Chains A and B, each alone.
Chain A
């Protein structure tokens, strides 16, 4: 209320400064061109030096209680929500790893297939022909039956 009073005072002061009363300046009861121009367009010197904040220990305690309560509630909520959120994030991670596992399995299977393709008898046959390899003649094949002492070659015995 005090501030409002000061505003009214300022308005009359501005009229004084212009040399006429406000009603005269406005040509009788003429409306100002912009509403509330005195508020928006003119600086109002307000002196707050007289306003003094008095210490209020009760309000301070109430404030700290509110802070403590809000923190507790926040922590409780976080504690309740954290496992769920963590589980969700872990779920994303697990599913992503499962996908990677499947991809690696598919890659392994395709490599096994490639390996099997590389050792087909037809391909080996062709490679052998390119290297001019031939089937051994019957007299070039010697069957070595292992002797009782474990030796394979006829002239060698196991040590």
Chain B
């Protein structure tokens, strides 16, 4: 019996072992199929569930002022995302999220309900939250809240230089100013990384496939201190004069560097624009909005005359007692003048005098010089939407157009173009393209400096110096007396162009009031052009004081040595005529000419100062070049070679003194 039972047990054991072996074989075969034959497929399926390719956002480059102070920064930020299908009850979710993120609870609850009804698996709760908000929410540890890494563009100085900087849209792409012009440089290139996460979305491992390349940092030529003064004074002037808009440009005349560019009204680039009014505030009036420059354009007319005619600053111009019939069109000065020297025409801003000078220059020459000074084409400043202004071709000129152009009408220009033209006079006759970007620097690379634009000679140096002297007369004796600076000589020209209303096809009694000037006269270090649009007062009254404040600040901040005595003589208490549409009667021609130096006026004889060189026998060109190089103020008369000079060679030039030189054949 036992032997029979043992055999049966063995058979059973054998069958059991065989079944087990078969079962193991099936499992092994299946494993081979899964792990070997279909390895690639299942590996890919697994990776799909655990590994994600994450874009590494490239940090947008910073924008700095010329001293390296930050004007625009990018900082990492997080956006809050919720899957409404996974979130708890909408009212509960909203109750937790709304107080932390500063959102309206009812509105958020409604958004969650709507998204859940639409079976959406993704809902932005708030984009680019602050660091504190993000940390607070993270501490709550909700598994259904996702943090998306993004970048936040911030402008720490608020409205400062907003029109230069521009702004970015919600995708952080530039939509104005430097942000738009240098989008390619600032943006950088995004990288990519493989990130492995576990089931609760914790990071297990990550591998950078392509590192992100941050955008280049851009250093502007803007000086934020000068920019602040320009914006502050412009806003004050526009508000006090109840004007509409305005702009200020400050240039370094030797390099074309834009030290400040202000436009009013201003805006805060940190805030997105929503209304049409917000969009209008973003218009850059300094480069995008041309206007009829008016009397400030007489500088171009007179410069053209100095170059192309035999007129000199002392040449007498017949001003027709304030009335001129130009090919049937009657033009009047507000105040009648009989005779004025060319310098007086500029100082007193006589329209008829300017027209007479324009007629002497001729249409072709005048247009040629208008173009030479850069009008009618963009200056090339790297800001979007720059206007070229408007300069009509000669065949489109009417018979009286020469008169209009000579006094700054029938032509339009931007504040930037006027600044470029004024800088050409200030730097000795070179038209230099304005430069806004000083350098660009990519991470780990050397800064790439932007070269100064190629200068183009448009005036003879002696003409430029003569123009500077005549423009100084505008500030000392003419319509720009409110532009006089303490401690510095200054030259400039006022302008007040009536605004043409297309609706009534007439000129209104509101003006584009402007002032274009430079300082110091002998060796200008700053050019300042101020434009106030829609003003009810003249440029000499509203724009010249802005020039004074901005130029004073610019010279002080740039450490420009003073060229006037510490205690200047008190200003005349008599009221000054600032109207450059109207010119008061002139008592005598001599009052426009500089008075000779006298010990009584100039004080005791100087014992310390620069010594006067010997100019005897030299030509005018040689004298002007040498005095310009040495920075001596000079006053010349006659032609030929130097026959007389005062002070005598080797003597000390008194402070605020000039070298007077007489040329003769």
Contacts and interface: CB of A to CB of B under 8 A. Distances in A.
B566 A120 contact: no
Contacts, number: 90
Number of chain B interface residues as a range: 35 or more
Nearest to B78: A106
Contacts of A105: 76
A102 B77 CA distance: 10
Nearest to B157: A120
Contacts of B384: none
A64 B294 CA distance: 112
Contacts of B42: none
Given A113-B75, A141-B556, A143-B561, A95 B158 contact: no
Interface string B141-152: 000000001000
A98 interface: yes
Given A107-B131, A122-B228, A139-B566, A116 B204 contact: no
A140 B111 CA distance: 63
B205 A143 contact: no
Nearest to B486: A138
B156 interface: yes
Contacts of B70: 112, 116
Interface in B16-75: 69-70, 73-75
A102 B202 CA distance: 15
Given A95-B203, A98-B206, A121 B228 contact: yes
Contacts of A99: 203
Contacts of B509: none
B76 A106 contact: yes
Contact of B158 (A91, A122, A125): A122
Contacts of B69: 116, 119
A113 B74 CA distance: 9
Contacts of B204: 88, 91-92, 95
A139 B487 contact: yes
A113 B203 contact: no
B156 A117 contact: yes
Given A138-B486, A138-B562, A143-B561, A113 B73 contact: yes
A94 B553 CA distance: 54
A110 interface: yes
A121 B157 contact: yes
A105 B626 CA distance: 57
Interface in A104-159: 105-107, 109-110, 112-113, 116-117, 119-122, 125, 135-139, 141, 143
Nearest to A120: B157
B655 interface: no
A74 B283 CA distance: 77
Nearest to B560: A143
A103 B137 CA distance: 14
A70 to B, nearest CB: 20
B206 A95 contact: yes
A143 B486 contact: no
B658 interface: no
B13 to A, nearest CB: 20
B135 to A, nearest CB: 8
Interface string B121-147: 000000000110011000000000000
Contacts of B157: 116-117, 120-122
B556 A136 contact: yes
A135 B487 CA distance: 14
B462 interface: no
B556 A106 contact: no
Contacts of B232: 122, 125
A81 B389 CA distance: 77
Contact of B131 (A92, A94, A110, A143): A110
A106 B567 contact: no
B205 A113 contact: no
Nearest to A139: B566
26 contacts: A91-B204, A92-B204, A95-B203, A98-B203, A102-B76, A105-B76, A106-B75, A106-B131, A107-B131, A109-B73, A110-B131, A113-B73, A113-B75, A113-B156, A116-B69, A116-B73, A117-B156, A120-B160, A121-B157, A121-B224, A121-B227, A138-B564, A138-B566, A139-B487, A139-B562, A143-B561
5 A-B pairs closest in CB distance: A138-B487, A95-B203, A109-B75, A121-B228, A116-B156
Interface of B: 69-70, 73-78, 130-131, 134-135, 149, 154, 156-158, 160, 196, 202-206, 224-225, 227-228, 232, 486-488, 552-553, 556, 559, 561-562, 564, 566-567
